[in-house]
Amino acid sequence: MIIIGEKINGTIPTVKQAIEQRDEEFICNLAIKQSDAGADYIDVCAGTDPKIEYETLKWLIDIVQSAVDTPLCIDSPNPKTIESVFHYAKRPGIINSVSEEGNKCDIIFPLIQGTEWQVIALTCDDSGIPSDVQTRVDITKSLVDKAGKYNITPNRIHIDPLVIALSTDNNSLLKFMETAKIIKKLYPTIKITSGLSNISFGMPLRRVINQNFLTLALYAGMDSAIMDPCNQEMLATVLAAEALLGRDKFCRNYANAFRKGKIGSKK
Ligand code: THG
């Protein structure tokens, strides 16, 4: 599974403080720790007031790139912000995200046309986040069609079906699995992605729900996830699930991660 490290996000209180204090070392450490833990991409999200989002995101991008070679996942709700910081990225990464909301597609797709950049596409539109499978599939089709006009092929698209909290919709995971199945049948090379913590909102023992969600979502064909790779329990769940699903020859990744102390070395 492709791991997108989530920890450089201004909505996390300690990161917000580091941003306010322009604490480069703190951000640098988060980049190195996630990269060492196995992050394939580093998500960078300013999470600030839109007025200072551009300068904050540029600052974060510069620090991450000075610390690690891991490609970025540029995370902003504002396509104009993404457009303005895009050229500071040294290597192709992932844009997080595009959707059917407003004019997002018209800005993001031309931006990555002819590049190796990938994009996370959320299944939402101007009427919000759908809770049913069919609307998610319909939005996916529309997004893939629009991307195709810029020669952006499905293998560069990660569909994020925007999982609703299980406490709000008891069929949330089942709908995620059904959505993933239909989308993969339509576009065999497309990727399915998700954040891993929305599912457990409002429930006790959130980590247990998150880990079980991860296992079942992997079985349903999830290809990438926005997660904390420094969370050893979560990383162990990824590696265990992949081994159990026959995606880890001789269980080598699982065994190596244990041997190197990436899993099982602390509680
Ligand atoms: N989909 C897409 N992008 C997203 C999300 C998504 N970007 C933002 C968010 N959801 C994913 N990012 C985070 C970042 C931090 C946390 C949760 C989601 C978080 N972190 C805690 C911390 O660092 O203190 C705990 C981390 C842990 O150990 O598990 O809560 O859904 N496309």
Determine the Cα–Cα distance for residues 166 and 186; give it in Å rounded to an integer.
Answer: 27
Each residue of 4-22: pLDDT tens digit?
A: 999 999 999 999 999 999 9
- Distance (angstroms) between ligand 1 centre and the Cα of 200 equals 12
Distances (CA, A) of 111 to 92, 105, 116, 164: 12, 10, 11, 30
Q: Is residue 267 part of a domain?
A: no
Query: Measuring from atom 23 of ligand 1, which residue has the nearest CA?
Result: 7
Pocket test for ligand 1, best of 3, 12, 73 (most atoms within 8 A of CB): 12
Average pLDDT score over residue span 112-125: 98
Each residue of 172-181: pLDDT tens digit?
A: 999 999 999 9
Q: Which has the minimum average pLDDT: 27-31, 50-54, 73-77, 155-159?
A: 50-54
Each residue of 183-207: pLDDT tens digit?
A: 999 999 999 999 999 999 999 999 9
Q: Is residue 266 part of a domain?
A: no
Q: Of 137, 161, 146, 75, nearest to 106 (Cα)? A: 146
Q: Is residue 265 part of a domain?
A: no
- Distance (angstroms) between ligand 1 centre and the Cα of 9 equals 8
- DSSP class of residue 45 equals E
- Distance (angstroms) between ligand 1 centre and the Cα of 195 equals 6
- The count of domains in the chain is 1
Q: Is residue 33 part of a domain?
A: yes
Each residue of 123-171: pLDDT tens digit?
A: 999 999 999 999 999 999 999 999 999 999 999 999 999 999 999 999 9
- Residues with CB under 6 Å of ligand 1 are 6-7, 9, 12, 45, 75, 96-97, 120, 160, 195, 197-198, 226, 228, 231
Let me know how many helices (H) and strands (E) the chain has, helices first. Answer: 10, 8
Residue 267 has a pLDDT of 55
Contacts of 242 (CB under 8 A, 6+ apart): 1, 218, 248, 253, 254
Measured at the CA of 260, the angle between CA 238 and CA 6, to 5 degrees, comes to: 45
Residue 147 has a pLDDT of 98
- Distance (angstroms) between ligand 1 centre and the Cα of 172 equals 18
Note down the domain range covering 14: 2-259
Q: Is residue 96 part of a domain?
A: yes
Average pLDDT, the chain: 97
> What CATH number does residue 59 fall under?
3.20.20.20
| 72 contacts 65 by C-beta, under 8 angstroms | yes
Residue 95 has a pLDDT of 98
Residue 130 has a pLDDT of 96
Task: Say yes or no to pLDDT of 266 above 80.
Answer: no
- Distance (angstroms) between ligand 1 centre and the Cα of 2 equals 15
SS3 state at 22: coil
